[in-house]
Copies of this chain bind each other. A is one copy, B any other.
Amino acid sequence: MEQRVSLITLGVGDVRRARAFYERLGWQGQEVEETVFFQTGGIVLVLWGRDKLARDCGITEGQAGGFSGVALAHNVRSKAAVDDVIAAAERAGATVTRPPAETFYGGYAGVFTDLDGHAWEIAHNPGFPLAADGSITVPGLSNP
């Protein structure tokens, strides 16, 4: 298995509602058969019905809600951008679960959960350089 993630699919309770949330944040998606695709660099983020996703994965759905055990991070270029994105997310209906603050690694970050409880950390991390195209690199890690 090569070291690669191709798509991230977030299971959501209501695809239309979830799409509207991400579009309020400025994202542009494309819907195909009740599935919404967002191209993000070389990977694709997908919104799909949580029940369909579970069934499609051959997984019996447990109780909904609670912590998904997965967090996505969106890194930005300044502390001010962290505040801006967290504020925009809150206006868009997100729950701010950790207000922006200095982090132990010398950065600045906050966390919100989207309408289905998926966690997004918005971070300014001077230690992880952000390229012009938005891709990040962890120093010392090679790209196999």
- When the two chains form their complex, are residues B137 and A39 in contact, meaning their CB atoms are under 8 A apart? yes
Interface residues in A98-144 (C-beta closer than 8 Å to B): 98, 111, 113, 116-119, 121-123, 128, 130-131, 133-138, 140-144
Which of chain B's residues have a CB closer than 8 A to the CB of A143?
Answer: 39-41
From B25, B62, B73, contact of A1 by CB (8 A): B25
A70 engages B30 (CB within 8 Å)? no
Which of A6, A89, A119 is the most central at the interface, judged by chain B CB atoms within 10 Å of its CB? Answer: A6
Interface residues of A (CB under 8 A from B): 1-11, 25-28, 30, 37-45, 50, 53-54, 56-76, 85, 88-89, 97-98, 111, 113, 116-119, 121-123, 128, 130-131, 133-138, 140-144
